């Protein structure tokens, strides 16, 4: 499932590097902003059935593709959604 999540992130950010650079700084490099985050979260729900609100995410979870994917996977597990 993490590959699907990364692909959605790449789609929203129009940044294919998120697929190959798990430690890419998302906010610091301007890859992801608040509007992009909302779009990403909407796609997560639409495509994968994972419901996640921006207020459920800490700033450190938004730092890199790896940390964001891990936060989404944790939310999926809590919701009983498996790959």
Asked if residue 13 lies in contact with residue 19, where contact means CB atoms within 8 angstroms, the answer is no
Tokens 């590959």 map to which residue? Answer: 3
Q: Is the model's pTM score more than 0.75?
A: yes
Report domain extents, the chain.
2-78
15: left (phi over 0), alpha (psi -120 to 50) or beta: beta
Q: How far is C-alpha 20 from the geometric centre of its chain's CA atoms?
A: 14
Q: What is the pLDDT of residue 53?
A: 94
pLDDT of residue 82: 82
Average pLDDT over residues 17-40: 96
Read off the pLDDT of residues 52-76 as tens digits, 9 standing for 90 and up.
999 999 999 999 999 999 999 999 9
CATH architecture assignment, domain 2-78: Orthogonal Bundle (1.10)
Predicted local confidence at residue 10, as pLDDT: 97
């Amino acid at each position: 499932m993490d590959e699907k999540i990364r692909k959605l992130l790449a789609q929203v950010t129009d940044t294919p590097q998120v697929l190959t650079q798990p430690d890419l700084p998302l906010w610091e490099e301007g890859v992801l902003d608040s509007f992009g985050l909302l779009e990403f979260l909407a796609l997560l729900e639409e495509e994968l059935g994972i419901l996640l609100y921006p207020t459920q995410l800490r700033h450190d979870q938004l730092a890199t593709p790896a940390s964001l994917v891990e936060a989404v996977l944790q939310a999926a597990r809590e919701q009983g959604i498996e790959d």
